[in-house]
Amino acid sequence: MSNGITIADENIKQMIGSSGWEFKEKDGAGLFFEKDGRRLIATTQMWTGKYVLVKIPGDFK
């Protein structure tokens, strides 16, 4: 199960990082990023064995 979360985390880091956000840390289900003094938190949740729900604030770009 954690493999699906790991893959999702890496995809999230790549997607958000491409918009200039710097990954800082992972704490539980949250991935913390910073850019220009702002903080962004993306969260993941394993829904089933095949699906990971991801929540990312809409203003990340």
| pLDDT digit string, tens, across residues 44-60 | 998 887 888 999 988 77
Contact 12, 60 (CB under 8 A): no
Could you read off the pLDDT of 2-26 as tens digits, one per residue?
Answer: 677 888 899 999 999 999 999 999 9
Cα diameter, the chain: 37
- Answer positive or negative: Cα dihedral of 61, 55, 23, 7: negative
Single pTM value for the model: 0.85
